[in-house]
Chains A and B, each alone.
Chain A
Amino acid sequence: MSRRVEQKARAREKVAALQAAQARAERRKRLLLAFGAVAVVVIVVAGLVIIRLAGGGSSKTATGPSGSADTQIVGALKDIPDSTFTDVGTDAVQAGPSAITAPALTAGGKPKVLYIGAEFCPYCAAERWPVTVALSRFGTFSNLGTTHSSGDDVFPNTATLSFHGASYTSQYLAFTGVETTTNEQVNGQYAPLDTPTAEDQKTFDTYNQPPYVKSGGSIPFVDLGGKFVASGASYSPEILAGKTQAEISAALKDPSSPIAKAIDGSANVYTAALCNVTGNQPANVCTSPAVTAAAGKLGKS
């Protein structure tokens, strides 16, 4: 009797030992899988770092030279429907030109618009779009360039236009665009490009300071006939992130696009300021609902 009990107990022990061994094996297998998954992740991350350190796969989209804007881009800037300007309004505009009291800024007997910026500057990249759109309602640009902001700055590689080498003809306005540097660094400094005339430099030094603008010396700086000044961007360059010049110019016709809301909206405010400078000429532009409404967005310094 006791022998049978002993045998049963031994059998139970054997089964228990077998089950424990199986449980241990299962646990080892699960741990192996877990550590394997962790190892795979570590290898992937380390691999990415090693490939980058070895110089592979680097993208340097921002260091290319500037080019010239094709006719499609220039045409798109000029052919924005009035209805789009009306629909976008000015809600997306964060800042606009402010009125100042200063001697008239003129060139060739016409009110002069002075823009001073630089090709590396992301805020200049944003602001050139509405400035160009607004000025295109008063005249015609030729030889507009294309460029992008620096890849080493905030809002890197923002696609934009360049006023370097561009000319502007209008019966109402004169325009000077100064791009002080390129977007390419030479010995740690952005390479010089345009040099403002002494007169333009004096305008910059005098009116790009408080109380005319909030913070002094920033670019972009725009003086509209000595009556209005703007400093900095009127909307966030983030809106243009990842877009090409062609995509941006194509979006300007679509009033539902955030790009159109920002650029066309800002152009409405610039246009309202320019209409003030030109004595509301041309009438078809200056009496449009979008422009008359945007006049309320003009600031006072």
Chain B
Amino acid sequence: MSKTAGTGQRSEPVTAEREPLGWLPWTTLALSIVGVAVAAYLTYEHFTAGSTLACPDTGVVNCMKVTSSQYSRVFGIPVALLGLAFFLGMTALSLPPLWRTASPWPARLRLAAVVVGVVFVCYLIWAELFRIDAICLWCTVVHALTLVLFGLVVVREALTSP
């Protein structure tokens, strides 16, 4: 019954049952998408000189002071743009087919990305606290998302490794 008439090729069963992904991959995908939105906003603000940045600009919480500091670029590349690239990559790597694939590479790339991300976040938190003397609210959202993504990916890898 499962043969395709006239071709002799097997067709895929229409009602194939897939094992559910569970909440970890879906949460990773959702947080990555939120990260894309926040990082895109920060990137837009970086290239428009932060004229519409929704954040206080005096006192300890001062997004402009952070996003216009020398630490807002790494090797000439805006940190906001690097963040956007990170979250776009994480979104792509967190799509359901890449969780289900038998290839080990998506999992390795996810793990490498979150490890690099979390190291970078630690550097940026250090810069905010000890060099710039100001906290950027939107950047903190990005930092928190990266830290949570790190936790989710690492735990997921521990649960699914052979």
Q: For window 103-162 of chain B, which residues contact chain A by CB distance below 8 Å?
A: 118, 121-122, 125-126, 129-134, 147, 150-151, 154-155, 157-159, 161
Contact B122 A154 (CB under 8 A): no
CB distance from A158 to the nearest CB of B (A): 10
Query: Within the complex, which residue of A31, A33, A60 is in contact with B133, where a contact is CB–CB below 8 Å?
Result: A60
CA distance A3 to B98 in the complex (A): 49
What is the interface of chain B mostly: helix, strand, loop, or mixed? helix
Contact residues in B for A33 (Cβ distance below 8 Å): 158
Per the CB 8 Å criterion, the residue count for chain A at the interface is 31
Contact (A41, B150) CB under 8 Å given A154-B57, A238-B68 = yes
Judged by a CB distance under 8 angstroms, whether B90 is at the interface is no
CA distance A45 to B147 in the complex (A): 10
CB distance from B122 to the nearest CB of A (A): 6
Contact A44 B122 (CB under 8 A): yes
Contact A49 B65 (CB under 8 A): no
Contact A241 B65 (CB under 8 A): no
Query: Within the complex, which residue of B68, B147, B155 is in contact with A41, where a contact is CB–CB below 8 Å?
Result: B147
What is the interface of chain A mostly: helix, strand, loop, or mixed? helix
Contact (A152, B58) CB under 8 Å given A30-B161, A31-B159, A45-B125 = yes
Contact A34 B155 (CB under 8 A): yes
Residues in chain B within 8 A of chain A (CB atoms): 49-50, 57-58, 62, 64-65, 68-70, 73, 118, 121-122, 125-126, 129-134, 147, 150-151, 154-155, 157-159, 161
Residues in chain A within 8 A of chain B (CB atoms): 27, 30-31, 33-35, 37-38, 41-42, 44-45, 48-49, 51-52, 57-60, 151-156, 236-238, 241-242
Give 18 new A-B contacts, CB below 8 A, not counting A60-B133, A152-B65: A38-B150, A38-B155, A41-B118, A41-B150, A45-B147, A48-B122, A48-B126, A52-B130, A57-B129, A59-B130, A152-B62, A152-B133, A154-B50, A154-B57, A154-B64, A155-B68, A156-B69, A236-B49
